[in-house]
Structure 1
Amino acid sequence: MERNEPCWCGSGKKYKKCHMPIDEKIQLHADHGEIVPSRAILKTPAQIEMIRKSADLNTAVLDEVAKHIRIGMSTAEIDEIVYRFTTEHGGIPAPLNYQGFPKSVCTSLNNEICHGIPDENIIIQDGDIINVDVSTILNGYFSDASRMFKMGNVSERAERLVRVTEECVQRGLAAAKPWGHLGDIADAINTHAQANGYSVVEEIGGHGIGLEFHEDPFVSYVTPKGSEMLLVPGMMFTIEPMINEGSPDFFVDEDNDWTVYTIDDGLSAQIEYMVLVKEDGIEVLTK
């Protein structure tokens, strides 16, 4: 672009006063052989404003689940809460009918790593740990987050796994810095998980989000520090490591082709935040 043309991001500023310095810095990293985001990955100010509204609703949905989740309820009841609250507030549950997924939310208990399908016959028991993964579309913009819930008298091993998973996410957030790399996040998470005797699922990771449910880049949590894509202001993605107490390997339920289980029947936990890279740091949009 010419220096004095309106910036491509739609900010209304001249290119030289807006994205020109960022684009030049990206090019320097590209010239050194680093993986850099395409312009399509970077969200514009107008898009960020709309995505924030979707994110606010997504957080409100999880807050609503937190108010009502209890021992003795079915996971189908969680699905009903998510669908009702989301639609009553003008949103659409993003998982519903996504590539054939039949429900509005993912509910994954104990040895289920992710993509558990709510069912009236799955009843939350005392001692369960459950991940509730909520994703929302509002006015065409997408958001995503998940929380772990400890139900009643949770075992020490389950309590510890959930705590370390939260610590992994926090360490990943601390490692996420503009002009760093996705591998910095992965290394912080994987190092802490392994130091505590856990493993990180390798083949399922985070993703870009905002204009679509799943966008580039794929966010691994097992790659080395300094590797993977450059973190550039305007990037938006999820940090959602899946931490297993045993092997990182898994299998997918043959009956529903969705629910992912630990290969060794060990416990698994996941916490998901959605973040925006800014010039002065990282903003958490959902948690």
Structure 2
Amino acid sequence: MFDRGIEIKTPAQIESMREAGLVVGSTLELLRSTVQAGMTTAELDALAHDHIRSQGATSNFLGYHGFTGVICTSVNDEVVHGIPGTRTLQDGDIISIDCGAIIDGWHGDAAITVAIGDVPDEVTELMRVTEQSLWDGIAAARLGGRVSDISHAVETSVRAQGDYGIVEGFTGHGIGSAMHQPPNVPNVGRPGRGVKLVKGLALAVEPMVTLDTPNTRTLADDWTVVTTDGSWAAHYEHTFTLTDTGAWVLTALDGGKARLEALGVPYGGH
């Protein structure tokens, strides 16, 4: 640990986080390839539960403050924290699937947004913009930099691509021996502020971007967060760390190599 209770991992602990991250990544890819109109969100959750267990991992979502799923399933205007249940997915929906796993006490956390069948072009573009902002945020991280360098890059990426809402009430976070740790990683901000980026620090970056208002409210289930005006939202997340050679995305199956190199950023994994 160093100041403010922030957890710095050893290389061996980061390797365990990579193992957890690979479980998360493979679970999300399974769900991406499986989800279709007519499925319920509970059926998706059951698939995720079986896969996580088959990989020798446990879920960090199930039971978290009473949460009843191993994934969050947030559909259309639901931004984050949707509870899996009886909702049947329809052609034209989009769904954010947020997933986490634990290996040997170390956590991974990531999210994707998936289109069900044909969706409007503006929604496809919303998804692209949101995912791009995630990668631009990670690409801005450098050893010796600051957490808000990531925040600024996410915000700048989104603002440059259109008039979108960026949700500020929910943020990325530190991660390691617990799923949520300090520091927070906001999706807006000025660069050069906040915690210093050092080896052994692991962060989950997760932009949430909307077609209109960024304002949200929480439903009566005390979990599901929706936009106040019903506008649709996209959500992407990865867990990453920095090594001497660059960024290593622990929840990406290829470690983030392809996307980082496409952005001209050194890859720090192996």
Q: State how far apart, in whole Å, the 2-side matches of 1:162 and 1:45 are.
A: 34
Q: What's the offset of the Cα at 1:230?
A: 1.2
Q: What's the offset of the Cα at 1:119?
A: 0.9
- Of 210, 213, 222, the residue aligned with 1:244 is 210
1:123 is matched by which residue type in structure 2? T
Matching of residues 201-280 of structure 1 within 5 Å: 201-254=167-220, 256-280=221-245
Distance 1:162-1:132 versus aligned 2 partners, 3 A rule: same
Is the counterpart of residue 181 in structure 1 residue 181 in structure 2?
Answer: no
CA contact (8 A) 2:6 2:182 kept: no
Runs of 4+ in 1 over 2 A off after TM superposition: 36-40
CA contact (8 A) 2:6 2:181 kept: no
Q: State how far apart, in whole Å, the 1-side matches of 2:29 and 2:210 are.
A: 26
Distance 1:40-1:224 versus aligned 2 partners, 3 A rule: closer
Cα displacement string for residues 25-83 of structure 1 (whole angstroms, at most 9, x for unaligned residues): xxxxxxxxxxx856852111121121111111111111221231111100010000011
RMSD, aligned α-carbons: 1.5
Matching of residues 127-142 of structure 1 within 5 Å: 127-142=92-107
How high is the TM-score relative to the length of structure 1?
0.84
Name the SS for the 1:41 alignment partner: coil
Matching of residues 8-47 of structure 1 within 5 Å: 41-47=7-13
Q: State how far apart, in whole Å, the 2-side matches of 1:279 and 1:247 are.
A: 40
How high is the TM-score relative to the length of structure 2?
0.89
* Percent identity between the two aligned chains: 35
Name the SS for the 1:286 alignment partner: coil
Aligned residues: 251
CA contact (8 A) 1:133 1:145 kept: yes
Is the counterpart of residue 78 in structure 1 residue 57 in structure 2?
Answer: no
Is the counterpart of residue 157 in structure 1 residue 144 in structure 2?
Answer: no
Q: State how far apart, in whole Å, the 1-side matches of 2:88 and 2:3 are.
A: 43
Q: What's the offset of the Cα at 1:210?
A: 1.7
Q: State how far apart, in whole Å, the 2-side matches of 1:212 and 1:175 are.
A: 25
In structure 1, stretches of 5+ residues that fail to align are 1-8, 10-35
1:66 is matched by which residue type in structure 2? R
